[in-house]
Structure 1
Amino acid sequence: MVSEHGLSGDVQYHWSMDDASIVWSRGGRDFLRGRITVIGSTDHAQQTWLWSWANDSLPQIVLGDITSVRRYGEEHDFPILVWPSFRAEQKPMAQARIIAADVLAAEGLWFEPGDEMDLHFAIHDLRRL
């Protein structure tokens, strides 16, 4: 996604939970837009992953079809997809993100680091502006 859409170098981006969007720009001009689904968050202090379907503080618009990931976990007996939260270790988080991206037919994944919490997005419907 990064190389195909030129998302390296002097690229800036802005995402919004108000309309579940992410926009990339260069030199002050927007050139790519996508839709985001928040798949989960990691809490630095607790060192836990929380699925977005278990996070009541998120607006409905950014949840997309995240419940399909939980259903997939139930149907295929994959506990980390069904547990609302789990210890934020690298391997389980990577598995959760990749499976979520596949189930959601995402074009890519995006990671937004924060001081206390990191957000993990699936990216959909990319289009050039």
Structure 2
Amino acid sequence: MAEEKSAPDWYHEWKHEAFHQLMDKQDRLEADYGLNTWPRYDYDVDAGRLTFSQDGVVKVMADIQVVGTIGSKDWLWAWANDHWPDHVVADMEEVVSFGETHGILELISGYVTDTDLNQLGWKLTAVAVRILNAVGAYRPPSETGALFLLIKSIRLVN
């Protein structure tokens, strides 16, 4: 019996390109919005919003979708996690559809494992950013696990 492939031959290079595209987008976000310079960030999953502020004043606002999380052993796609409200993971259905169309197992499996989960999280987020033509991503700082957010749009406030 032939072993089932987990992705088409072109996918590895396509994913690598998506990661580099995301790095370029992240550089532009930093240059235009200074995401790493604001003393405070907050996200409101119910509102689908990420804000950056200083002295209690919001300076940057972004519309987000939850891409996924990493724990101690694996990546969990947001669409496979009942914790997230449907409206903040809705766009991830397009990622699943892309995975189904092209036979990419890591895009249609709720859980994905790897030896470097942080790198896996960024790579899968880069794939989602590419498929959804998003402006970038954000990973809030955390001592335990990690949340990966897709930035759909972003703007300066005040």
Place the TM-score, normalised by the shorter chain, in its bin. 0.7 to 0.9
Q: Does the CA contact (< 8 Å) of 1:43 and 1:116 recur in 2?
A: yes
- Report the TM-score when normalising by structure 2: 0.72
1:68 and 2:94 are equivalent in the alignment: yes
Provide the secondary structure at the position in 2 that maps to 1:4: helix
**CA gap 1:32/1:10 in 2 versus in 1, 3 angstroms:** closer
Max Rg structure:
2
Whose strand fraction is larger, Structure 1's or Structure 2's?
1
Select between 3-12 and 96-105 the one with higher mean Cα deviation: 3-12
Shift of 1:29: 1.6
The residue matched to 2:37 in structure 1 has which SS? coil
Return structure 1 stretches of 4+ with deviation > 4 angstroms. Answer: none
2:70 is equivalent to residue 42 of structure 1: yes
In the TM superposition, what is the alpha-carbon distance from 1:88 to its structure 2 partner?
4.1
Normalising by the residue count of structure 1, what TM-score does the alignment of the two structures yield? Answer: 0.87
How has the CA–CA distance of structure 1 residues 19 and 49 changed in structure 2, closer, same or farther, with 3 Å as cutoff?
same
Q: Give the number of the structure whose residues are more often helix, by fraction.
A: 2
Which residue does 1:119 correspond to in 2?
147
Q: Give yes or no for the alignment of 1:102 onto 2:130.
A: yes
- The residue aligned with 1:22 is 50
Could you tell me whether the CA contact under 8 Å between 2:75 and 2:120 is conserved in 1? Answer: no
- Give the aligned CA root-mean-square deviation in angstroms: 1.7
| Shift of residue 11, structure 1, vs aligned partner | 3.1
Instruction: Confirm whether residue 32 of structure 1 aligns to residue 57 of structure 2.
Output: no
Task: Give the CA deviation at 1:110.
Answer: 0.8
Choose which of 84, 105, 113 in structure 2 pairs with 1:87. Answer: 113
Identity of aligned residues (%): 25
Kept in 2, the 8 Å contact 1:17–1:61? The answer is no
Check conservation: 2:64, 2:88, Cα contact below 8 A. Answer: yes
Find the aligned partners of 1:14 and 1:101 in 2 and give their Cα distance.
21
User: Which runs of no fewer than 5 residues in structure 1 stay unpaired?
Assistant: none
Give the equivalent residue in structure 2 for 1:4.
32
Contact 1:32 1:126 in 2 (8 A): yes
How far did residue 127 of structure 1 move?
Answer: 1.6
